[in-house]
Protein backbone atom coordinates (compact mmCIF):
# COMPACT_ATOMS: atom_id res chain seq x y z
CA UNK A 1 0.00 0.00 0.00
CA UNK A 2 2.86 2.37 0.81
CA UNK A 3 4.39 1.78 -2.63
CA UNK A 4 1.09 2.64 -4.28
CA UNK A 5 0.78 5.88 -2.33
CA UNK A 6 4.39 6.75 -3.19
CA UNK A 7 3.63 6.33 -6.91
CA UNK A 8 0.41 8.40 -6.87
CA UNK A 9 2.13 11.66 -5.87
CA UNK A 10 4.53 11.87 -8.84
CA UNK A 11 1.87 10.59 -11.25
CA UNK A 12 -0.55 13.28 -10.09
CA UNK A 13 2.15 15.94 -10.44
CA UNK A 14 2.90 14.78 -14.01
CA UNK A 15 -0.80 14.81 -14.90
CA UNK A 16 -1.20 18.35 -13.57
CA UNK A 17 1.86 19.54 -15.48
CA UNK A 18 0.58 18.01 -18.74
CA UNK A 19 -2.96 19.34 -18.27
CA UNK A 20 -1.96 22.92 -17.40
CA UNK A 21 -1.63 24.34 -20.97
CA UNK A 22 -5.01 22.97 -22.01
CA UNK A 23 -6.66 24.20 -18.82
CA UNK A 24 -5.16 27.67 -19.28
CA UNK A 25 -6.58 27.84 -22.81
CA UNK A 26 -9.99 26.61 -21.63
CA UNK A 27 -10.02 29.18 -18.82
CA UNK A 28 -9.11 31.99 -21.26
CA UNK A 29 -12.05 31.13 -23.52
CA UNK A 30 -14.42 30.52 -20.59
CA UNK A 31 -13.69 33.98 -19.17
CA UNK A 32 -14.55 35.68 -22.46
CA UNK A 33 -17.39 33.46 -23.72
CA UNK A 34 -19.29 32.59 -20.55
CA UNK A 35 -19.49 36.04 -19.00
CA UNK A 36 -22.75 37.99 -19.13
CA UNK A 37 -22.97 40.76 -21.74
CA UNK A 38 -21.93 44.26 -20.77
CA UNK A 39 -24.50 47.06 -21.07
CA UNK A 40 -22.74 48.24 -24.25
CA UNK A 41 -23.07 44.82 -25.88
CA UNK A 42 -26.83 44.46 -25.36
CA UNK A 43 -27.83 46.81 -28.24
CA UNK A 44 -25.43 44.92 -30.53
CA UNK A 45 -27.11 41.65 -29.60
CA UNK A 46 -30.58 43.04 -30.18
CA UNK A 47 -29.50 44.39 -33.58
CA UNK A 48 -28.03 40.99 -34.47
CA UNK A 49 -31.22 39.17 -33.52
CA UNK A 50 -33.30 41.69 -35.46
CA UNK A 51 -31.09 41.12 -38.50
CA UNK A 52 -31.56 37.36 -38.27
CA UNK A 53 -35.34 37.71 -38.00
CA UNK A 54 -35.42 40.12 -40.96
CA UNK A 55 -33.20 37.74 -42.94
CA UNK A 56 -35.67 34.91 -42.41
CA UNK A 57 -38.43 37.06 -43.90
CA UNK A 58 -36.26 37.96 -46.91
CA UNK A 59 -35.19 34.33 -47.28
CA UNK A 60 -31.54 35.35 -47.18
CA UNK A 61 -30.80 32.06 -45.40
CA UNK A 62 -30.86 30.44 -48.84
CA UNK A 63 -27.61 32.25 -49.71
CA UNK A 64 -25.66 30.85 -46.75
CA UNK A 65 -22.72 28.57 -47.37
CA UNK A 66 -22.78 25.12 -45.84
CA UNK A 67 -20.20 26.20 -43.28
CA UNK A 68 -22.24 29.26 -42.23
CA UNK A 69 -25.42 27.18 -42.01
CA UNK A 70 -23.63 24.55 -39.92
CA UNK A 71 -22.22 27.20 -37.55
CA UNK A 72 -25.68 28.79 -37.19
CA UNK A 73 -27.12 25.36 -36.41
CA UNK A 74 -24.47 24.76 -33.74
CA UNK A 75 -25.18 28.15 -32.16
CA UNK A 76 -28.89 27.31 -32.08
CA UNK A 77 -28.15 23.97 -30.42
CA UNK A 78 -25.92 25.72 -27.86
CA UNK A 79 -28.68 28.19 -27.02
CA UNK A 80 -31.18 25.34 -26.62
CA UNK A 81 -28.80 23.42 -24.35
CA UNK A 82 -28.25 26.46 -22.11
CA UNK A 83 -32.05 26.88 -21.94
CA UNK A 84 -32.49 23.26 -20.84
CA UNK A 85 -29.67 23.55 -18.29
CA UNK A 86 -31.40 26.64 -16.88
CA UNK A 87 -34.67 24.73 -16.67
CA UNK A 88 -33.03 21.91 -14.73
CA UNK A 89 -31.41 24.40 -12.36
CA UNK A 90 -34.71 26.23 -11.83
CA UNK A 91 -36.62 22.99 -11.17
CA UNK A 92 -33.85 21.65 -8.93
CA UNK A 93 -34.64 18.30 -10.47
CA UNK A 94 -33.42 16.52 -13.59
CA UNK A 95 -36.75 14.90 -14.41
CA UNK A 96 -39.90 17.01 -14.76
CA UNK A 97 -41.68 19.24 -12.32
CA UNK A 98 -42.95 18.11 -8.96
CA UNK A 99 -46.65 17.50 -8.25
CA UNK A 100 -48.62 20.68 -7.70
CA UNK A 101 -46.45 22.82 -10.00
CA UNK A 102 -49.32 23.60 -12.36
CA UNK A 103 -50.80 26.99 -13.14
CA UNK A 104 -51.16 27.84 -9.44
CA UNK A 105 -47.41 27.70 -8.90
CA UNK A 106 -45.31 25.77 -6.43
CA UNK A 107 -47.04 24.91 -3.13
> What are the pLDDT digits (tens) for 11-43?
888 888 888 998 899 899 888 888 888 999 999
What's the pTM value of the predicted model, to 2 decimals? 0.51
For CA atoms 63, 69, 72, 73, the dihedral sign is: positive
CB 91 within 8 A of CB 97: yes
How does residue 65 score in pLDDT terms, banded at 50, 70 and 90? very high
Amino acid sequence: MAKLVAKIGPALQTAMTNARPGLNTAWKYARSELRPPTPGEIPQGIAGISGVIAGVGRRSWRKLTVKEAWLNTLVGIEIACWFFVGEVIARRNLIGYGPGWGYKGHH
